[in-house]
Amino acid sequence: MLVDLIRISAADGMELDGAYFAPAGGAMPPGPVDAVLCVHGSGRNFYTAATAQMADDLRRLGYGALTLNTRGHDTVWVDRQTGVAEGNAYEILDNSRQDLRAGIDYLERQGYRRIGILGQSMGAVKVAYYAAMEDDPRLAAVLPVSPVRLSCSYYMESPDAAEFRANLDTADRMEAEGRALDLFSVDFPIKEMFSAASYLDKHGPLERYNIINHAPRIRVPLFVLAGSEETHTRLKDVPQDMVTAAVNSPRAEYRILEGGNHSLTNMMPAASAAVSEWLAALQQQSIAAAD
């Protein structure tokens, strides 16, 4: 696939790399959305296979597509300007709003006005959180794929409660000792390294990013996509619960692909087809409303 590699800056000056997928010549995108920003998951990046493939499939249908690193890309990386360690291990998730806005700004500069945001895994949390928290008139749809439930209270009532509580205790102790930016390894809710600050930000009792709680603030069409094999505590029943809570979305739907794994990496063509079918159906809804 041929793409334009780009580098843009968020409002705070953070440089973000990505790839712009220009729409295929002659193709006209069905539906009211004309471009899609695609956001990777935890520890991934803009060229992760599932993210890049989704963007390329959308490009073939006539959508402009942008895959973009958030500052939480990869596990750890060092900002060349500041020398500060960044990445999923250090990410404060609220900062991703700046990253997504920068991506939407880029697509607007390419001439797009009706932009969808699609995220996979933790990227699904980021796009839903952006839609709930930002009053962005350019936003035309939000498409979380395999969204994660970031809920301390839910985890505490799960079979994984003992392991989760131990992780919280470790992070609390590290922060109290002045080691909030030190890393430690966990297996729950994902096998990864985190700083104490980042672990508490995403998984702590404040539940800042519990997308079930944020869903009522989403006021654009919402499509949640997931696989039937996603039975882990952090994933179980999230699509259903999110759509039920999205009472102010004009069209909130979910679809479970039978046999699909996390982020649907084992059935990427089917995932792209589900997304494109739903986007096209938005046009039918618009026509029906006009009539």
Q: Taking 60 as the threshold, does the pLDDT of residue 169 lie above it?
A: yes
- CA gap 160, 152 in Å, rounded: 11
Spelled out in words, what is the top-level CATH class assigned to the domain 4-150+208-290? alpha beta
Confidence category of residue 291, pLDDT binned at 50, 70, 90? very low
pTM (2 d.p.): 0.96
> Which pLDDT value is given to residue 288?
41
Q: Taking 80 as the threshold, does the pLDDT of residue 112 lie above it?
A: yes
Q: Are 275 and 143 in contact (CB under 8 A)?
A: yes
Q: Which H or E run includes 115?
A: strand 115-120
> Which pLDDT value is given to residue 113?
96
Residues 43-84: tens digit of each pLDDT: 999 999 999 999 999 999 999 999 999 999 999 999 888 889
**Whose structure tokens read 């999110």?**
242
Confidence category of residue 264, pLDDT binned at 50, 70, 90? very high
- In the chain, CATH 3.40.50.1820 sits at 4-150+208-290
